[in-house]
Structure 1
Amino acid sequence: MKGMGGDGGEDCPFQFNFDPATFKVGDTVSYRVSSMEDWPFVGTLLEVHEDHVVISPGPNEPDARYKGTRESRPMVDGSEI
């Protein structure tokens, strides 16, 4: 994600995987939460299943696990947050 750092032109510090066919444990993904108007969040895939993924939202919530859809930007149900 080149040039996302504003006027300075810095690159985004994350390397996202947007291809659900190649998702693997440890990938960084941009995910959405159904109750938060498509606002983007960053997470790490902990599990990859045929029809869903399990996402860790990061070190600020080390025990949190969110089930998301398996699509380019997984959707997490707002009731899980």
Structure 2
Amino acid sequence: MQNMGGEGEACPFEFNFEATTFKVGDTVSYRVSGSLEGFPFVGTLVEVHDDFVLIAGDSNDPDTLYRGTRENRPLVDEAQV
């Protein structure tokens, strides 16, 4: 997301791209399968498990959570979105 704005603008988010260090409250860049593949999404980790994470990906609806894979950029199934 660097250099997507005007000249010299930095990304407003600090991402954790290291799945082994994920913790609740981390901001992550996650992916969505299917027709949304290739688009970057931003969310906050609300649960971290051995093999999956729960991501709050809608700031307008904090009760909506997406289950994603536990990898550097979690993958969420399009059916959840």
Please indicate, yes or no, whether the TM-score normalized by the shorter chain is above 0.5.
yes
Q: Percent identity?
A: 60
Number of the residue aligned with 1:68: 68
Aligned-residue RMSD, C-alpha: 1.4
1:8 aligned counterpart, secondary structure: coil
Number of the residue aligned with 1:16: 15
Contact 1:45 1:54 in 2 (8 A): yes
Contact 1:25 1:47 in 2 (8 A): yes
Number of the residue aligned with 1:6: 5
> Which blocks of at least 5 consecutive residues in structure 2 are unaligned?
none
1:4 Cα offset (Å): 2.1
> 1:39 and 1:61 mapped to 2: Cα distance?
20
Letter in 1 for 2:39: W
Number of the residue aligned with 1:38: 38
Letter in 2 for 1:15: E
2:20 aligned counterpart, secondary structure: helix
> 1:58 and 1:6 mapped to 2: Cα distance?
22
Letter in 1 for 2:49: H
> Which blocks of at least 5 consecutive residues in structure 1 are unaligned?
none
Q: TM-score if structure 2 supplies the norm length?
A: 0.90
Number of the residue aligned with 2:26: 27
Query: 4+ residue runs of structure 1 moved beyond 6 angstroms?
Result: none
